[in-house]
Amino acid sequence: MNSILKGGLFVALGASCYGLLTTFVKLAYEEHYTAYEVTFAQILIGYLALVILNLFLKKKTPPITNPKKRRKTIFYLVLAGTSLGFTSIFYYLAVQYITVSVGIVLLMQSVWIGVVLDSIINKVRPTKLKIVSVILILIGTVLAADLLLEEQHVELIGIGYGILAALSYTVTIMTSNSVGIQYHPITRSKWMMFGGLMVVSAITLPELIDYMDFGIFTFWGPVLALFGTILPPLFFTAGMPKINVGIGAIISSIELPVAVLMGYFVLGEDQNIYKWIGILLILSSIVLMNIKKVKKEPLEPE
């Protein structure tokens, strides 16, 4: 049980890092850094850090010994990582126009988008439980984003970027759970981050070639890389093997309340009862979707 508690704590810490990230991005914007500067700095520093971390992994026989198959797997990991790059750029563009609360709620739409994509790609008919969960998420989103309040003004361009980020994030989740799973998670993260770096470089460098404030590399770039790229894989790698996937998914949803609370306490964003009801509905839907996995899977792998 002590091992399970440690595993849950590590997963909670990893998810909380993601929850802190949006507020840090907003603070960087307040210092007049652009979304392009923020995204490029985070991805570049994060990739270099993962390369260094890989040097400290114990040297052993590669999990894929066939050179041709190994190159093919690495190529697919890099390709899968491009969605990670799109997620970062779309999400950071979104939070230029919307609050932290609305941004994180939009990103959480990846939960029901994943259900839809799974049913289309794998031709798996969603269960009644998943359908109910999707409905709860949609209702919760309307409440959590304050879309019912007449005085609430939400930038449509921010909503659009947020939905694109959720779509990209869904692809990232689906591919990261199926591509190159023979490799150590940090090694997989390195190759996926390389794919993300290529996408982000292609999008941001044309905007940054005329002017870039290199001050982003002195503080906010390293901070964002630490909480968005370096720490989460380490925490999840340490925690997930000690608990099952269902519990991991439920604990990971702590990212949502952490982000909202940070927006409230640090940025002074407005909160109300409707928003918290919406957040509770979204969290409840995540629990519903994973409750069967909690019951069926062992807490620790044998």
Helical ranges in 56-153 per DSSP H: 67-94, 100-107, 110-121, 128-144
Residue 302 lies in a domain: no
Predicted confidence at residue 149, as pLDDT, reads 65
pLDDT tens-digit profile of 203-262? 999 999 999 999 999 999 999 999 998 998 888 878 877 887 778 888 888 999 999 999
Predicted confidence at residue 86, as pLDDT, reads 96
CA distance 279 to 241: 28
Residue 301 lies in a domain: no
The string of DSSP codes covering 49-60 is HHHHHHHTSPP-
Token code pair at residue 161: 């970027």
State the number of CA atoms in the 13 A half-sphere of 121 facing the CB. Answer: 10
- What residue ranges of the chain have pLDDT lower than 50? 301-302
Give the helix, strand, coil percentages of the chain, each rounded to 5: 75, 0, 25
Domain that holds residue 157: 2-296
Predicted confidence at residue 118, as pLDDT, reads 81
Residue 260 lies in a domain: yes
Residue 14 lies in a domain: yes
Predicted confidence at residue 250, as pLDDT, reads 83
Residue 62 lies in a domain: yes
Residue 182 lies in a domain: yes
Whose CA is closest to 161, among 84, 91, 85, 83? 91
Residue 36 lies in a domain: yes
| Domain total of the chain | 1
Predicted confidence at residue 47, as pLDDT, reads 96
Sequence letter at residue 245: V
**pTM of the predicted structure, to 2 decimals:** 0.89
Residue 98 lies in a domain: yes
Predicted confidence at residue 301, as pLDDT, reads 46
